[in-house]
Amino acid sequence: MATAAEVAKLAALARISVSEEELPKFVKEFDAILEYVGKLETLKLPMGEDREAPLLRNVMRKDGEPHAPGIYTEKLAEQFPCFAKATQGKPATTQPSGDEEGVFLEVKQIITHD
């Protein structure tokens, strides 16, 4: 059974302010919590490697293309103020073409190299 001093110390460690009037109520609640945890400790669980298997599950999506490449390029590029001037009717690109002839979107420099 928890004492009022133990509950007060726990409240102080958790940085929870507990008044003297609330302390007896919290002692009872704390005892109920400890009793429930004690019941959980008496459970007989099957031992073995497969015990944890149901808990393991891959929640990540498979790697792959969620949509065709480039279908949103124009829509995103239109958000740049200089887009109309820069493209002059040519399609915007997001990847260098090798000969650097594509239209690229310019952004402000945010990282500097010393």
Domain-embedded: residue 53: no
Domain-embedded: residue 56: no
> Confidence class of residue 6 from pLDDT cuts 50, 70 and 90?
very high
- Full residue range of the structural domain in which residue 89 is found: 71-107
CB 83 within 8 A of CB 61: no
CA angle, corner 89, sides to 84 and 94, nearest 5?
Answer: 75
Domain-embedded: residue 57: no
Domain count, the chain: 2
CB 7 within 8 A of CB 27: yes
Domain-embedded: residue 103: yes
> Confidence class of residue 2 from pLDDT cuts 50, 70 and 90?
confident
- Between CA 28 and CA 4 the distance in angstroms is 10
Structure tokens belonging to residue 78? 């239109």
Domain-embedded: residue 10: yes
Domain-embedded: residue 75: yes
